[in-house]
Amino acid sequence: MKQRFYVTTPIYYVNDIPHIGHAYTTIAADILARYNRLQGKEIFFLTGTDEHGQKVEKTAAEKKRTPKEHADIMVDNFRNLWKRLNISNDAFIRTTDDAHIKSVQGLLQMLWDRGEIEKREYSGWYCTPDERFWTEKDLVEGNCPDCGRPVDQIHEENYFFLMSKYQERLIKYIEENPSYILPDTRRNEVLGFLKNNTLGDLCISRPKSRLSWGIPLPFDENFVTYVWFDALVNYFSATKYLAPPTPPSPSSPQATRRGERGEGKGGGETLNSQLLTLNPDDWWPADHHLVGKDILTTHAVYWSTMLMALNLPLPKNIFAHGWWTVHGKKMSKSLGNMVDPNVMVEKYGVDALRYFLFREVPFGIDGDFSEQAFINRINTDLANDLGNLVSRFIAMAEKYFGGAIDIGRIDVGASSELEEQCAYAHMNVHRKEYWSHLHFSLILENIWDIIGETNNYIARKEPWKLAKENTDQLKIVMSNIWNASRITALSLYPFMPNSSEKIWQQLGMKSLVDEAKQYSPEIFEWDWKPSYEIKVSKAEHLFPRIETKNNR
Ligand code: MSP
């Protein structure tokens, strides 16, 4: 069976207008999905929208729409943006999908039957905009510790997931699995929090009288489930009805194909046991949940303990990335400083944006978004280093050989100067630890080392002189440059898929994606060569310089 790779983004609040922060998590997941796809793995890349809760209900009422009508309109903001950003998700989950609702209800019923949920009298401080309860000691000067807005005291009966009893087990799990939560700084924060606080139980319901736009509890019609319980389950429920079908493996006789399990069979035990049956060829558990640092606790604590209570395996990794600010300030509607990814793509192109976000700041720490820094990256890294390498090479190839490159001449093996100079960087581009720890900026730095070495090689070898003096040597040098450019295009593919494909074809090859699929993993080696003749061809300049007042 092919190796599997399952990656998720958070499901975004459907009511929000997507900004650069949302784009960030989704592009990161796309980079991972594309890299692993090129390695020949089977991929399930999931994203989607979180559609229940008070905010959607309220905005829909203001707009005189039903909540579902409102969600149906808003969801396109995300769908369209992902198309524009060239996101290769395999599925898009909406928490209003029938099959998802049934899964949530099935899992709730299961927890209820097992005594993992209890009804209790409850009083607490409620932040309506954040839809969250706080205890007295959480409050900051009497206000919500998250958003600083006033909170209301509420007394009511509610259902609680008995999360507290999993505290010790969770600590042990995180300690024994060092890459469960990454980066390490975030892992230490979660461990510190769990070791220094007593974990409470989690209120997982809202009375219908106060909120009707939610999934009804299967065991009490007067309540709907808390939006986070509903949302977190998406990562599991999607594997049951949205994941790519897989051939049943001989070792799993009950394995069924997509669409045949769980759906439309009503609630109760049958649904529950189908939901929780895991076959060796199932997609759960995920390889990576990518989340922003603000939602790490809900994933690392709520979701992990929910899975423990359900006896389901935990995801292999939860990665919490940092936040983008703008001129040092949090992006917000009220400040009017939201960076719209659509506008950035319009102005600078999709690959430039994808590159900038992952080169400028190591994935995991906070960064400040500045258009000038973005322009500098385009002009320096993309236009000068990469763009010039490709266009100079092609111009020389056309001038000296009418575009034909004698790839039989590629100088490989211990004696090859350019190969040796690029070897360490080339190894780093595929370093397992860099990919498993999502060190995207380091990977990009190493790709730029290859580009830098190749540009130096051109300067040192002076092909324009060789053209007059030594045609044989010129052929070897040009073949080596061609090969380093090929390696560059391939390495860049997960980050800049369109540009890489264009460079690949300008270098005279057929299709990067098709050929990578066919020849993986040899195609990543320095000495891979296509079996057909190579003729490079001039095309548009990929990254035109951006002229501004500051760099004119
Ligand atoms: N609906 C929940 C997630 C449920 S997942 C089971 C949610 N949605 S969200 O739309 O508010 O946020 C989604 C993601 O966007 C989070 O990972 C969050 O960290 C990320 N970002 C929101 N603003 C951001 C920045 N300014 N910078 C980087 N990422 C940010 O939370």
Tell me the DSSP string of 432-459: HHHHHTT-HHHHHHHHHHHHHHHHHHHH
Query: What is residue 532's three-state secondary structure?
Result: coil
Residue of 8, 27, 50 to test ligand 1 pocket, by largest number of atoms within 8 Å of CB: 50
Atom of ligand 1 nearest to the CA of 291: 17
Distance 16 CA to ligand 1 centre (A): 10
Q: What is the pLDDT of residues 18-38, one digit of tens each?
A: 999 999 999 999 999 999 999
Relative to the CA of 293, which ligand 1 atom is closest?
A: 19
Q: Which segments within 335-481 are labelled E, that is strand?
A: 367-369, 404-405
C-alpha to C-alpha distances, 186 to 292, 294, 442, nearest whole angstrom: 11, 11, 19
Give the distance (Å) from ligand 1 centre to CA of residue 4.
Answer: 26
Please state the three-class secondary structure of 204-227 as a single string.
CEEECCCCCCCCEECCEEEEEECH
Does the CB atom of residue 159 touch ligand 1 within 6 A? no
pLDDT tens for residues 527-540? Answer: 899 999 999 988 78
- For 406-431, the pLDDT digits (tens) are 887 777 665 589 999 999 999 999 99
Identify the pLDDT of residue 550. Answer: 67
CB-side exposure of 425: number of CA atoms within 13 Å? 20
CB of 38 within 6 A of ligand 1: the answer is no
What 3 state SS string does 21-48 have? Answer: HHHHHHHHHHHHHHHHHHCCCEEEEEEE
pLDDT of residue 247: 62
Confidence band of 249 (pLDDT split at 50, 70, 90): low
CB 454: neighbour CB atoms within 10 A?
Answer: 25
Does ligand 1 lie within 6 Å of residue 229's CB atom? no
| Beta strands in 226-375, from DSSP E residues, in sequence order | 288-292, 318-321, 324-326, 329-330, 367-369
Q: Is pLDDT at 259 greater than 70 in this prediction?
A: no
Dist. CA 95–CA 75, nearest whole Å: 11
Atom 19, ligand 1: which residue's CA is nearest? Answer: 292
Q: Which residue has its alpha carbon closest to ligand 1 atom 25?
A: 21
Average pLDDT for the chain: 92
- CA dist 106 and 112 (Å) reads 10
Closest residue by CA, ligand 1 atom 21: 21
Q: Amino acid letter at 97? A: D
Q: Compute the CA torsion angle 133, 139, 142, 144 (nearest 10 deg).
A: -60
Is 232 touching ligand 1 by the criterion CB < 6 Å? yes
227 lines ligand 1 (CB under 6 A): no
Find the 9 Cα to ligand 1 centroid distance in Å. Answer: 9
